[in-house]
Amino acid sequence: MNELRYNPSELLICISARLMADNATCFIGTGIPMLAASLAQKMHAPNLISIFEFGGVGAQLEKLPLAVGDMRTFNRGLAAAGICDIMETATRGFVEYGFLGGAQIDMYGNLNSTIIGDDHAHPKVRLPGSGGANDVGSTCWRTIIIMQHGKKRFIPKVDFITTPGYLSGAGAREAAGLPPGTGPYRVVTSLCTLGFDKETKWMKLLALNPGVTVEQVVENTGFELIIPEAIDTNPPPSTEELRILREEVDKDRYYI
């Protein structure tokens, strides 16, 4: 297998999987986070405790779930709880990582998955809304956001804050009553990996995807990024990552 032959979804899955640590608790959503969690369990994090919104805790993702309420999210798990128990677990500070997506994001990691436009009653586009995203982004210690990268998505001000990032900057989350120390950790995109400055909470470039330049990232971002002197490059998917992803995680090609 030629490790250079991969598609954009496979790259996003592999980069996301590498962020999942062994023995960590991780709130998993539908789509790429499920594949990333399964890949992580099979590659480097066999004791990853996956947590699903509808109550599955600690499932072994031997077969790919198709939704957060799929019976496979309970497979050989530690507990079969319910949605209220899961949200309480996150609120009490027991969930380390949470995966999120959205239609828009700003420089402080605030996410919009509710409307496009400035009129909530009559928006240009009405999106699915929060689901459990607000709970995840408000209470998990580190949230990882997965998005396609473009100027219509990375904008100076989101049309609606569905899920709080760092709100208006340093100290704003705490002032709003959210748990200190929680918030966005990484933004994994089709172009790069982004993080947040410790002091200002402003988004900054951390690593480029293979073949991507800093100029491309800047051109596709609607606000100014912090560009550090040292920028890493995300390694492409390895032969083993691709083999497991294609032959074990998603052999029916539901997502890849």
Residue ranges of domains in the chain, CATH in brackets: 8-249 (3.40.1080.10)
Are the CB atoms for 17 and 89 separated by under 8 Å? no
- pLDDT, residue 151, reads 96
Are the CB atoms for 26 and 39 separated by under 8 Å? no
Give pLDDT tens digits along the chain (256 positions). 444 689 999 999 999 999 999 999 999 988 899 999 999 999 999 999 999 999 999 998 888 888 888 999 999 999 999 999 999 999 999 999 999 999 999 999 999 999 999 999 999 999 999 988 999 999 999 999 999 999 999 999 999 999 999 999 999 999 999 999 999 999 999 999 999 999 999 999 999 999 999 999 999 999 999 999 999 999 999 999 999 999 999 988 888 8
**Catalytic residue IDs:** 53
- pLDDT, residue 2, reads 44
3-state secondary structure string, the chain?
CCCCCCCHHHHHHHHHHHCCCCCCEEEECCCHHHHHHHHHHHHCCCCCEEEECCCEECCCCCCCCCCCCCHHHHCCCCEECCHHHHHHHHHCCCCCEEEECCCEECCCCCEECCEECCCCCCCCEECCCCCCHHHHHHHCCEEEEEECCCCCCECCCCCCCCECCCCCCCCHHHHCCCCCCCCEEEEEECCEEEEECCCCCCEEEEEECCCCCHHHHHHCCCCCCECCCCCEECCCCCHHHHHHHHHHHCCCCCCC
